[in-house]
Amino acid sequence: MQPEESVQAIELNLLCDHRVSEARAAHCFDVTGRPGTGDELRRALVDYHRDWVCRQPAESCLCRPRTGHNFVQKSRLPKDLTLVNVLNVSARVNSLRPPPVLEPRLEAELKRPVDPLAAADEIEAFLTGLFEVVNSHRDERTVRVARWREFARSIERTSASTWNAAAGAWRPARGGIAMARP
């Protein structure tokens, strides 16, 4: 795929993505100087994420007039619906540093080399502890979820980059260990 074809794909995704309302798209283009080229669009998306989604969520991703159609009331979800969230554990852990936010036991576990063959109960214990810390220090970032059944059909379980695509979030390709389960 040629670089400009890649940008055209991004543009088409922006136009067709039902999660991006006209009001939010207009806001993005207004505050980023109305990008006119592929390079400007790429830069605008990075800038918008950094300057608005991360720093001013109440004016971007949490702004009800711009994104209210994306919010689902907890009481409206069927109790038997299994959802999935793609989480970059390393990035999330780094956002919880320095201690005392991250308790010493979790900090020590993170310093150990990642063992892809670790016992399921070890992984479960680590993730349970991490999620407790994440939930107790939750910021206003939105949490994107997808239905597990559709997600599982759309991914390669050992390729984390396919997880982001299936959940509708782009991330740069990096090495690492990938695991997927509901």
Residue type, 80: D
> Do residue 66 and residue 95 come from a single domain?
no
Q: Is residue 182 part of a domain?
A: no
> Do residue 66 and residue 81 come from a single domain?
no
> Do residue 45 and residue 84 come from a single domain?
no
Domain end, chosen from 50, 70, 90, is at 70
> How does DSSP classify residue 82?
-
> Do residue 161 and residue 109 come from a single domain?
yes
Domain that holds residue 93: 77-167
> Do residue 130 and residue 50 come from a single domain?
no
- Hey, is 105 helix, strand or coil? helix
Q: Supply the pLDDT for residue 141.
A: 65
Handedness of CA 152, 137, 133, 73 (dihedral sign): negative
Residue type, 1: M
Q: Identify how many contiguous H helices and E strands the chain contains and give both numbers.
A: 9, 2
Using H for helix, E for strand and C for coil, what is the string for 133-182? HHHHCCCCCCCCCEEHHHHHHCCCCCCHHHHHHHHCCCCCCCCCCCCCCC
> Do residue 94 and residue 120 come from a single domain?
yes
Over the chain (182 residues), what is each successive 10-residue block's mean pLDDT? 60 74 89 87 88 88 85 78 82 68 66 64 78 75 80 85 72 52 54
Buried b (16+ CB within 10 A) or exposed e, 110-123: beeeeeeeeeeeee
> Do residue 131 and residue 59 come from a single domain?
no
Q: Is residue 176 part of a domain?
A: no
Q: Is residue 179 part of a domain?
A: no
Count how many domains the chain has: 2
> Do residue 97 and residue 158 come from a single domain?
yes
What's the full length of the chain, in residues? Answer: 182
**Per the confidence metrics, is the pTM higher than 0.75?**
no
Nearest CA-CA partner of 49 in 23, 24, 71: 24
